[in-house]
Structure 1
Amino acid sequence: MTEELKQKIIEVCNKKIAQKGDNVGVSFYAFFKNKNDNPKLLMEAATWWIETHQLDHFEKAIKIKQMVL
């Protein structure tokens, strides 16, 4: 996983947790805008989420943050 994606995931998870608490869920789409302006990074996140770790569509943000750290 690239450093760019790691930082993006940690930033988004921190923001979601701060807004909605430790129980908030995220999907890998949470790390991207509605417009697909970086397909390579999106595919990297999808591969890490789906193929590498076989995660459900929604996972706890705190779990994803800890996995990345």
Structure 2
Amino acid sequence: MSPELKDKIIKVCNTKIAKKGDNVGISFYAFFKNKNDNPELLMEAAEWWIKTHKLDHFEKAVKIKELVL
């Protein structure tokens, strides 16, 4: 996983957890704007989420953060 994606995931997870608590769910789309302005990073996130870890569409942010760390 690239450092850019790792930093982005941790930042988004921390923000979501701080706002909505430990039970907040996220998808890999949460790490991106509604625009496809970085397709390479989006595909890296999708591959990590779907192929590598075989995660469901929505997962707990705390789980994702733990996997990244």
- For residues 31-55 of structure 1, the C-alpha deviation after alignment (integer angstroms, 9 at most, x for no partner) is 0000000000000000000000000
Q: For residue 61 of structure 1, what is the aligned residue in structure 2? A: 61
Unmatched tracts of structure 1, length 5 or more: none
- Aligned equivalents of 2:27, 2:10: Cα separation in 1: 13
Instruction: Find the residue that maps to 1:55 and give its secondary structure.
Output: coil
- The CA RMSD over aligned residues, in Å, is 0.2
- Name segments (4+ residues, structure 1) moved above 2 Å: none
- Aligned equivalents of 1:65, 1:6: Cα separation in 2: 9
TM-score for the superposition, normalised by structure 2: 1.00
TM-score for the superposition, normalised by structure 1: 1.00
The Cα of 1:61 is off from its aligned counterpart by: 0.0
Unmatched tracts of structure 2, length 5 or more: none
Q: For residue 38 of structure 2, what is the aligned residue in structure 1? A: 38
- Aligned equivalents of 1:54, 1:26: Cα separation in 2: 15
- For residues 5-27 of structure 1, the C-alpha deviation after alignment (integer angstroms, 9 at most, x for no partner) is 00000000000000000000000
Q: For residue 4 of structure 2, what is the aligned residue in structure 1? A: 4
